[in-house]
A and B are shown apart, each in its own frame.
Chain A
Amino acid sequence: MNVTLIFLTGFAPFQPTPGLALWSLIIFLLFWWLMSKYAFKPIMEGIKTRENSIQEALDEAKKARAEMANLQSENDALLAEAREQRAQILKEATDTKMAMINEAKEKAKSEAQRISLTAKQEIENERKAALTSAKNQVGTMAIDIAEKLIQKELKSNPEHEAFVSKLVSEVNLN
């Protein structure tokens, strides 16, 4: 018998023994059943639940990020619009202001013209009235003087009086 076989002959770990076979079968099957039912099932369920929740959280975060981006662009658009509106309003205000100023200027000018025109007319009228009254007074005075003079010299001669009046009216004071 060669050396290998002698070695194997005494090599107890490789000898199949019925007791160990029976026990290891029973123990393994029991272990399998116990672990499957009471350990692996809840563990696998737990792991699956957590993996799902992580996936959901990731998906939600992605969605939230997309929404955020959406919101941001909307905000930007709104802001741009507001800015445009502000510029528009400012421009309009400036235009209105300029128009008002111009209008006021025009108004003031025309008013001033009107006032100065009226003033000139009034002055003219006043001057005319003053001249008329002055003419009348001067006439009266001249008649008085002439009356006195004539009274003195001519003594109530109507020809003289008419002649003097005619002279007075002929006097051009302008």
Chain B
Amino acid sequence: MRKIFLSLFCCLALSFCLVAQQNSGHSHDGHDHSSHDHSGHDHSGHDHSSHDHSGHDHSSHDHGGHAHTNNITTPCGSAAQVIHHEGYDPSATAIHHISDANVFTIMDMIRIPLPMIIYNKDRGLEFFMSSKFSAGHHDDGHYGYKDYVMMHGNIHRLKCPGFADQDHYEVAGFDVQKHKDAAGKDHETPYAIIGGKAYEIEQKTIWDGGLLGGGITSFYDLSPTKNVVSMILVCLLFFFLFRKAAKAYANRVGQAPSGIQSFLEPVVQFIRDDVAVPFIGEGKYERFFPLLLTIFFFILGLNLWGQVPFLGSVNVTGSLTVTAVLAIIVFLISNFNGNKHYWQHIFNMPGVPWFVKIILTPVELLGMFIKPLTLMLRLAGNISAGHIAILSFVGLIFIFGNAGQSMAGSITGVAMAIPLTIFMMAIELIVAFVQAFVFTLLAASYIGAAIEDHDHH
């Protein structure tokens, strides 16, 4: 056991040193020193030439103090140049790593193109592969396809018409312009630099009404992204494992469990005896038990999948979208199964005077919606926070190493980052199980509350 730990430790140290050295080597390569690097932990071996095309950053995260930016005045091609932001930005790096993308990047070396499905009001559904963009460093596309470009692994559409009939054109880089509107509100305008000119691009497709830096766009990106592919893989893996166990039950009737059967059985029995039966009730839990098991293994599988380091911190259960879907399913299941007593308790709490009901009913009604909301936020927050913590600790190497320019600093960073990262990963392993368990437990308790028989009163 100690040997395994030691070898693991050495491997980690070696890979970190390699990363640091590569970065320091890169800065002495004769490239301009302003060329920034906000790479994460898995950058060993990226293509250096990509920096010629994609030196950029979210200026909102840029604390390098650079005043000069391109001044975009029109969506269609103000004169502009690629601006290289200096310094390493840990928060931008961390967020980039845990964000969804239209390309599956492994160790920043292998980029697996994913299918693109885009609905566009003008042209209808469009299907193509994300290899059209030829994503490079930071998952920025080197090329544009029609009026789509890939910035940070996400598809954006050029606001300027006239690109729709182009199939292949070079994109030099991306940046974001910050400006204030008349009301003094901050705005960010992302743009792509094509042929020495800056073209304004639309935000990502986000259903947030512009609250979280997105908005309803003129196109919908319905592609199976990195997160979707992860979900499919994890679901297939679990389906395969469970099918194997299910077959074993059919083939080994009356025998002791063996193999995967003996691993899954205690978990299934735990969910039944400690979650389903106590919260929903003996005799009534069978209807909801498959849902609870599905939720548990879906979340657990994806939590653990996100823990595999070289896969680039796939953050499926940390995406609010995914947890929202789960929470909505739990909300619908529990409310559609709600019995008379459940609704009575919300709208007309028995045994309570009328003036209390005036306060209580809105509170109960609100609680109905807050329950799934907390489910959604708890899971997404916990998993995202864990990923950010790990990536921040890894980022120490680059902060101490002055973005790869100081070997001694890198080594100090490595010495600090390894124990912290191992500690954080161990904690995250617990969190993966705990969050899956908590979500299942609360889902069971909400369903149980909705179908509970009230003999008292």
A residues contacting B by CB (< 8 A) are 1, 6-25, 27-28, 30-32, 34-36, 38-47, 49-50, 53
Q: Which residues of A contact B291 (CB under 8 A)?
A: 32, 36
Q: Which residues of A sit under 8 angstroms from B213, Cβ to Cβ?
A: 8-10, 15
The reply to whether A20 and B322 contact each other, CB–CB distance below 8 Å, is: yes
* Contact residues of A: prevailing secondary structure: helix
A interface footprint on B273-292 (CB within 8 Å = 1, 0 otherwise): 00000000000000001110
Residue of A nearest to B315 (CB): A13
Residue of A nearest to B292 (CB): A40
Q: Cα distance A14–B317 when bound, in Å?
A: 11
In the complex the two chains form, is A40's CB within 8 Å of B290's CB? Answer: yes
From A21, A35, A36, A42, give the contact of B321 (CB < 8 A).
Answer: A21
- Considering the complex, give the chain A residue whose CB is closest to the CB of B291: A32
Contact: B321 with A31, CB < 8 Å? no
Contact present for A23 and B231 (CB under 8 Å): yes
Given contacts A10-B58, A31-B294, A35-B238, contact A20 B250 (CB under 8 A): no
Given contacts A1-B185, A24-B231, contact A18 B207 (CB under 8 A): yes
B205 CB contact (under 8 Å) in A17, A41, A53: A17
Q: How far is the CB of A81 from chain B (nearest CB, A)?
A: 44
Knowing A17-B221, A23-B224 are in contact, say whether A12-B95 is a contact too (CB < 8 A): yes
Q: A24-B228, A24-B321 are in contact. Are A35 and B239 (CB under 8 A)?
A: yes
Given known contacts A1-B185, A31-B294, is B205 in contact with A18 (CB within 8 Å)? yes
Across the interface, which residues of A come within 8 angstroms of B197, CB to CB?
none
Task: Give every chain B residue within 8 A of A34 (Cβ-Cβ).
Answer: 239
A106: min CB distance to chain B, Å: 79
Interface string of B351-380 (1 = CB under 8 A from A): 000000000000000000000000000001
18 additional contacts, CB 8 Å, given A19-B223, A23-B222, A40-B293?
A: A1-B185, A10-B61, A12-B95, A13-B98, A13-B99, A13-B384, A18-B205, A19-B117, A20-B100, A20-B228, A20-B322, A21-B321, A23-B224, A23-B228, A31-B239, A38-B246, A39-B242, A40-B242
Q: Are B384 and A14 in contact (CB under 8 A)?
A: yes
On whether the beta carbons of A17 and B228 are closer than 8 Å, the reply is no
In the complex, which residues of chain B have a beta carbon less than 8 angstroms from the beta carbon of A20?
Answer: 100, 225, 227-228, 319, 321-322
Stretch at the interface among B262-270, B426-434, B440-448: B262-270
Q: How far is the CB of B349 from chain A (nearest CB, A)?
A: 33
Q: Decide yes or no whether B30 CB sits under 8 A from chain A.
A: no
Contacts of B152 in A (CB 8 A): 12
Note all chain B residues with C-beta closer than 8 A to A19. 117, 205, 220-225, 228
| Cα(A43)–Cα(B249), bound, Å | 6
Among B311-339, those with CB < 8 Å from A are 315-316, 318-322, 324-326, 329
B interface, size bucket: 35 or more
The 5 closest A-B pairs by CB, nearest first: A46-B249, A39-B242, A12-B99, A9-B213, A36-B290
Judge whether B347 is part of the interface by a CB distance below 8 angstroms.
Answer: no
**B253 CB within 8 Å of chain A:** yes
Neighbouring B residues of A8 by C-beta, 8 Å: 212-213
Chain B's closest residue to A45 (CB) is B249
CA distance A17 to B214 in the complex (A): 9
CA distance A127 to B349 in the complex (A): 142
Known contacts A13-B315, A24-B325, A27-B235; A40/B320 CB under 8 A = no
Given the contacts A9-B213, A17-B205, A35 and B242 also touching, CB distance less than 8 Å: yes
Q: Which of B92, B243, B315, B380 contacts A10 (CB 8 A)?
A: B92
Which B residues are CB-close (under 8 A) to A42? 246-247, 249-250
Task: Tell me, in angstroms, the Cα distance from A21 to B376 when the chains sit together.
Answer: 13
Give the distance to chain B from A15, nearest Cβ to Cβ, in Å: 5
Contacts of B290 in A (CB 8 A): 32, 35-36, 40-41
Q: What does the 1/0 interface line of B68-111 toward A look like (CB < 8 Å)?
A: 00000000000000000000000110011011100000000000
What are 10 A-B pairs at a CB distance below 8 A? A9-B60, A10-B61, A14-B212, A19-B205, A19-B224, A24-B322, A27-B231, A43-B268, A45-B249, A46-B249
Give the distance to chain A from B305, nearest Cβ to Cβ, in Å: 13
Minimum Cβ distance to chain B for residue A55 (Å): 13
Cβ of B32 under 8 Å from chain A: no
Which residue of B is nearest A49, CB measured? B253
Q: Is B46 an interface residue (CB 8 A)?
A: no
Given contacts A1-B186, A42-B246, contact A16 B225 (CB under 8 A): no
Q: Would B321 and A17 count as touching, CB distance under 8 A?
A: yes
Contact A35 B293 (CB under 8 A): yes
Shortest distance in angstroms between A43's beta carbon and chain B's nearest beta carbon? 5
Cβ-neighbour of B239 out of A25, A39, A41, A44 (below 8 A):
A39
B206 lies within 8 A of A10 (CB)? no
Partner among A14, A21, A28 whose Cβ is within 8 Å of the Cβ of B380: A14
CB-CB under 8 A from B341, the residues of chain A are: none
Q: Is B245 an interface residue (CB 8 A)?
A: yes
B207 with A16: CB separation less than 8 A: yes
Contacting residues, chain B, for A46 (C-beta < 8 A): 246, 248-250, 253
Could you tell me if A39 and B245 are in contact, using CB atoms closer than 8 angstroms? yes
A14 to B99 CA separation, bound complex (whole angstroms) = 9
Name the distance in Å between B214's Cβ and chain A's nearest Cβ.
Answer: 6
Tell me whether B212 and A15 are in contact (CB under 8 A).
Answer: yes
* Interface check B188, CB cutoff 8 A: yes
Q: In the complex, what residues of A have CB within 8 A of residue B322's CB?
A: 20, 24
Q: Is B8 an interface residue (CB 8 A)?
A: no
Nearest chain A residue, comparing its CB with the CB of B213: A9
Q: Report the bound CA distance from A27 to B92 in whole Å.
A: 30
Could you tell me the distance in whole angstroms from the C-beta of B260 to the nearest C-beta in chain A?
11
How far is it, in angstroms, between the C-alpha of A137 and the C-alpha of B186 when the chains are bound?
A: 187
